[in-house]
């Protein structure tokens, strides 16, 4: 065919398809029908019957099963019942009326939970000698636990997935090593499964190129999170020689599996992870036989029935699989926490006690402490001319864009061989360095604005750089304005350990209260999520850099720390429920930092349970928590009853018809934290604890929230054997003159002298 004709034809097709799109306005939706009601032994015929029922359901609406067949992008057939399909808004509204349909929601994109700068944020892990008394040794390094990760896939050839010393793959494993359409993926006894899910992404405009049809991680995020959860030991892992040590995951001897659900947006950067792909991955992971699912992604908080992560994780938890999720990076604004379902373990992010320090020496000999990593230092040992981006902009750029060093705002003739000052915000931190380098800068100082406070993050920059706090930024700008020829020098990075205070809550970490269900405190706990070093993609970036390990920051990075720790408990106590495991980790958490003072936020103000839930994770205590607050599937269903879900909605969650208790108060949902979001006069909260330790007599100790009296009945609990359960009441009363409307915080501790079982108390007198 004539080339020109072909091009015209293609153009015509393109125009037609765009026109069609507008006329019918089709989108993809998830149609959720609840739990699959299979017999114990599921046959291929059962699966086909379910699929046919989906064609029938949609076909009756669309006029033919054939059309339905073409529209459906996924049938969820194993644990989750439902499908994802392309249809018009009117068809979606119509199918929602069908009595068998529990929920219809758009196939929305979720975001990966790294902070704004996607590729080059920082985070790291503590290395050292492992003592025989350590939780790692006692829990056999998470041996044979299987951790699945829903993310951007995996770099299968990473040293972190070496299978040295691991025995045969557990026989219960049913997963596969799915091949990419362009490259060979090798699984081994460590990386035992990979799959990818891109139908929902393609339905929403993603393109099915070979790059987008592979479980291989070309982004780095998924490799980083999976190796943080369950990576093998890798000696001498480092970034440009820094942070040199043995990299490893929280469960270094666990088996891992990657479920790729996140894909690049057409612009190439931030990942989009679609609900229908996420649900398909949950369904597959449950069937494959994972023990822990790690989910470092999420969207805005939403009602559970229209949330793919909430629905998928419900099915996993009902099968005894723990699901750990990131809280989100929308902090420090209140009410931003996502992944708030009470069957999820929701993780905030905080700092560690290690910094990669770079100092900024000003021409007047004042030194400002910053952080960053880069491959080289400044070329010459001399003071360089200093220029603020706002004074180095091209004529048509606005001051507000230039000050942030956005693309196309810098004038190379004003930047060349100088140290450029950029303000943090809007664009990725590393990208500001990219712009500085493109304009010929010798180095960059990245200064926080007021909102970012003292949170300074180590990124792997493409030029010598230093990220400084807001306070230091003020000094820098004052100096800059005080002289006609300001100069500065940036020192080479130096690794500093035992920095104090640590941890403090990352500025980006999403905060409570939980806007979907204020009666459940979220996040549940905090873990290291700033400057984490872990394995990375080995695809070169635009500066030809290949970093087999990189430093990233985000709740994406704190989440897999906890997933790895959950893996240890799975190995130690295979029969424990996800709720018992979460309780053990929450009630042993600490609320003090390494100065033995209350954990702070990034403004160095006292943090609250809305920042860190139960506190900072403390793996050394999790194997012997003493008591746990347990929950089973019926408790979660009662919780849904408490939220006002009706009989028919509850029935879809559950194989047997279930009658909600006549009155179920979410106050009595047996969560390891206690939240009373509207304390009128007197409120009673019921809880139940199970002894998982030695027999003993536990006494209660309460730290009352300001203006609230708390009485626990009984104040002593005696346990004679393991597995014994005891109930108690917590009676809360606002004192006369208590401040109304504001949240106040306290804690409730059960102790037998050996174990400390601590729950945060969050109360708002009303």
Where on the chain is the footprint of ligand NAG (CB under 6 A)? 236, 238, 241, 244, 362, 364-366, 394, 396-397, 408-409, 475, 478-479, 482, 646-649
Matching residue, tokens 């495991």: 581
In the set 221, 224, 315, 616, the catalytic residue is: 221
Strand partners, 387: 420
Enter the DSSP assignment of 704.
P
Closest by alpha carbon to 562, among 343, 340, 318, 349? 349
Q: How far is CA 38 from CA 35, 80, 247, 657, 748, in A?
A: 9, 11, 43, 16, 43
The residues near 99 (Cβ < 8 Å, ≥ 6 apart) are 648
CB nearer to ligand NAG: give 48 or 482: 482
CA-to-CA distance for 87 and 26, rounded, in angstroms?
A: 5
In the set 71, 151, 550, 601, the catalytic residue is: 151
CB nearer to ligand NAG: give 87 or 360: 360
Q: C-beta of 648: minimal distance to ligand NAG in Å? A: 4
Give 337: exposed, middle or buried? Use CB within 10 Å, 0-12, 13-18, 19+: buried
Matching residue, tokens 């390990």: 549
CA-to-CA distance for 37 and 633, rounded, in angstroms?
A: 16
Enter the DSSP assignment of 216.
B
State how beta strands 255-260 and 322-326 pair: unpaired
Q: C-beta of 646: minimal distance to ligand NAG in Å? A: 4
Q: Is 182 left (phi over 0), alpha (psi -120 to 50) or beta?
A: alpha
Sign of the Cα pseudo-torsion (704, 709, 710, 711, in order): positive
CB nearer to ligand NAG: give 475 or 515: 475
CB nearer to ligand NAG: give 388 or 397: 397
CB nearer to ligand NAG: give 197 or 549: 549
Matching residue, tokens 């072909």: 6
Contact 363, 340 (CB under 8 A): no
Q: C-beta of 529: minimal distance to ligand NAG in Å? A: 25
CA-to-CA distance for 100 and 50, rounded, in angstroms?
A: 13
The residues near 662 (Cβ < 8 Å, ≥ 6 apart) are none
Contact 394, 401 (CB under 8 A): no
CB nearer to ligand NAG: give 480 or 508: 480
Q: C-beta of 546: minimal distance to ligand NAG in Å? A: 15
Contact 526, 614 (CB under 8 A): no
Structure tokens that stand for 3 in this block: 């080339």
- DSSP alpha helix (H) spans, 319-378: none
Q: C-beta of 104: minimal distance to ligand NAG in Å? A: 11
| Residue 755 bears catalytic tag | no
CB nearer to ligand NAG: give 64 or 483: 483
Q: C-beta of 466: minimal distance to ligand NAG in Å? A: 16
**Residues, the chain:** 766
Q: C-beta of 479: minimal distance to ligand NAG in Å? A: 4
Strand partners, 151: 260
Q: C-beta of 398: minimal distance to ligand NAG in Å? A: 7
CB nearer to ligand NAG: give 360 or 685: 360
| Residue 221 bears catalytic tag | yes
- DSSP alpha helix (H) spans, 268-320: 275-288, 308-318
CB nearer to ligand NAG: give 32 or 728: 32
Q: C-beta of 26: minimal distance to ligand NAG in Å? A: 25
Q: C-beta of 477: minimal distance to ligand NAG in Å? A: 8
CB nearer to ligand NAG: give 168 or 657: 657
Structure tokens that stand for 433 in this block: 């360095």
**DSSP for 570-636?**
HHH-TT--HHHHHHHHHHT-B-B-TTSSB-B-TTSSBP-HHHHTT-B--GGGTT--SEE----HHHH
CB nearer to ligand NAG: give 478 or 682: 478
Contact 571, 145 (CB under 8 A): yes
* Residue burial 124-139, b: 16+ Cβ < 10 Å; e: rest: bbebeeeeeeebbeeb
Q: C-beta of 237: minimal distance to ligand NAG in Å? A: 9
CA-to-CA distance for 508 and 332, rounded, in angstroms?
A: 6
CA-to-CA distance for 627 and 629, rounded, in angstroms?
A: 7
Question: What kind and span of H or E run contains 433?
Answer: helix 429-438
Q: C-beta of 290: minimal distance to ligand NAG in Å? A: 33
Sign of the Cα pseudo-torsion (41, 46, 47, 53, in order): negative
In the set 556, 583, 591, 759, the catalytic residue is: 556
CB nearer to ligand NAG: give 366 or 487: 366
Q: C-beta of 275: minimal distance to ligand NAG in Å? A: 20
CA angle 351, 253, 692 (to 5 degrees): 75
Sign of the Cα pseudo-torsion (304, 307, 312, 316, in order): negative
| Residue 635 bears catalytic tag | no
Structure tokens that stand for 278 in this block: 């996420």
**Rounded to 10 degrees, what is the CA torsion of 718, 723, 729, 730?**
90
Contact 34, 81 (CB under 8 A): yes
Contact 553, 354 (CB under 8 A): no
Matching residue, tokens 């969207």: 299
CB nearer to ligand NAG: give 183 or 496: 496
Residues assigned a catalytic role: 151, 221, 556
């Amino acid at each position: 065919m004539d080339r020109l004709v072909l091009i015209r034809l293609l153009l015509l097709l393109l125009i037609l398809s765009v026109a069609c799109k507008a006329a019918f306005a089709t989108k993809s939706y998830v149609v959720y029908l609840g739990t699959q009601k299979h017999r114990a032994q599921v046959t291929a015929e059962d699966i086909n019957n379910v699929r046919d029922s989906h064609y029938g359901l949609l076909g009756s609406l669309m006029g033919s099963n054939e059309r339905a067949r073409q529209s459906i992008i996924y049938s969820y057939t194993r644990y989750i019942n439902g499908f994802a399909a392309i249809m018009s808004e009117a068809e979606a509204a119509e199918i929602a009326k069908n009595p068998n349909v529990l929920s219809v929601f758009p196939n929305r994109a979720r975001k990966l939970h790294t902070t704004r700068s996607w590729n080059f944020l920082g985070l790291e892990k503590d290395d050292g000698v492992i003592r025989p008394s350590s939780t790692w040794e006692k829990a056999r390094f998470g041996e044979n636990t299987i951790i699945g990760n829903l993310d951007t896939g995996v770099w299968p050839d990473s040293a972190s997935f070496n299978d040295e010393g691991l025995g045969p793959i557990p026989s219960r494993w049913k997963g596969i090593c799915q091949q990419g359409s362009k490259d060979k993926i090798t699984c081994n006894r460590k990386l035992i499964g990979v799959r990818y899910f891109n139908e929902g992404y393609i339905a929403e405009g993603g393109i099915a190129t070979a790059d987008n049809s592979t479980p291989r991680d070309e982004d780095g995020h998924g490799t980083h999170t999976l190796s943080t959860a369950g990576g093998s030991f890798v000696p001498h892992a480092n970034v440009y020689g820094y942070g040199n040590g043995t990299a490893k995951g929280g469960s270094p001897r666990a088996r891992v599996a990657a479920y790729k659900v996140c894909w690049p947006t057409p612009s190439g950067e931030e990942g989009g992870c679609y609900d229908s792909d996420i649900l398909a991955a949950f369904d597959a992971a449950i069937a494959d036989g994972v023990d822990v699912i790690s989910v470092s992604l999420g969207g805005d908080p939403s009602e559970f029935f229209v949330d793919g992560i909430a629905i998928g994780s419900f099915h996993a938890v009902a099968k005894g699989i723990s699901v750990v999720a990131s809280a989100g990076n929308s902090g420090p604004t209140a009410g931003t926490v996502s992944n708030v379902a009470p069957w999820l373990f929701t993780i905030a992010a905080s700092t560690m006690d290690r910094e990669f320090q770079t100092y900024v020496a000003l021409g007047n000999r004042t030194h400002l402490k910053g952080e960053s990593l880069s491959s080289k230092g400044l070329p010459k040992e001399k003071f360089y001319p200093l220029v603020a981006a706002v004074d180095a902009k091209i004529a048509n750029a606005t001051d507000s864009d230039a000050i942030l060093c956005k693309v196309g705002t810098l004038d190379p003739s004003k930047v060349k061989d100088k140290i450029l000052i950029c303000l943090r915000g809007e664009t990725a931190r590393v990208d500001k360095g990219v712009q500085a380098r493109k304009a010929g800068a010798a180095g960059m100082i990245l200064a926080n604005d007021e909102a970012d406070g003292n949170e300074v993050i180590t990124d792997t920059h493409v030029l010598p750089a230093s990220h400084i706090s807001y306070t230091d930024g003020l000094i820098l700008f004052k100096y800059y304005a005080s002289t006609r020829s300001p100069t500065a020098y940036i020192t080479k990075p130096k690794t500093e350990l035992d920095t104090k205070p640590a941890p403090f809550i990352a500025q980006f970490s999403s905060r409570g209260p939980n806007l979907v269900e204020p009666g459940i405190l979220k996040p549940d706990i905090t873990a290291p999520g700033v400057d984490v070093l872990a394995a990375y993609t080995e695809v070169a970036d635009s500066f030809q850099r290949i970093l087999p390990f990189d430093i990233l920051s985000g709740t994406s990075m704190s989440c897999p720390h906890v997933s790895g720790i959950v893996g240890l408990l799975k190995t130690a106590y295979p029969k424990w429920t996800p709720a018992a495991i979460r309780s053990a980790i929450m009630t042993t958490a600490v609320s003090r930092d390494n100065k033995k003072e209350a954990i702070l936020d990034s403004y160095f103000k006292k943090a609250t349970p809305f920042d860190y839930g139960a506190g900072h994770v403390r793996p050394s205590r999790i194997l012997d928590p003493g008591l746990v607050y347990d929950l089973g599937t019926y408790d979660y269903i009662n919780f849904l009853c408490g939220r006002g879900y009706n009989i028919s909605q509850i029935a879809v969650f559950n194989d047997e018809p279930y009658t909600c208790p006549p009155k179920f108060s979410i106050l009595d949902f047996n969560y390891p934290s206690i939240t009373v979001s509207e304390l009128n006069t007197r409120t009673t909260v019921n809880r139940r604890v199970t002894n998982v330790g030695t027999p003993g007599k536990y006494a209660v100790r309460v730290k009352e929230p300001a203006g609230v009296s708390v009485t626990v009945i009984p104040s002593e609990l005696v346990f004679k054997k393991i597995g014994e359960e005891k109930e108690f009441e917590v009676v809360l009363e606002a004192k006369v003159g208590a401040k109304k409307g504001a949240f106040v915080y306290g804690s409730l501790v059960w102790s037998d002298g050996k174990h400390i079982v601590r729950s945060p108390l969050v109360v708002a007198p009303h």
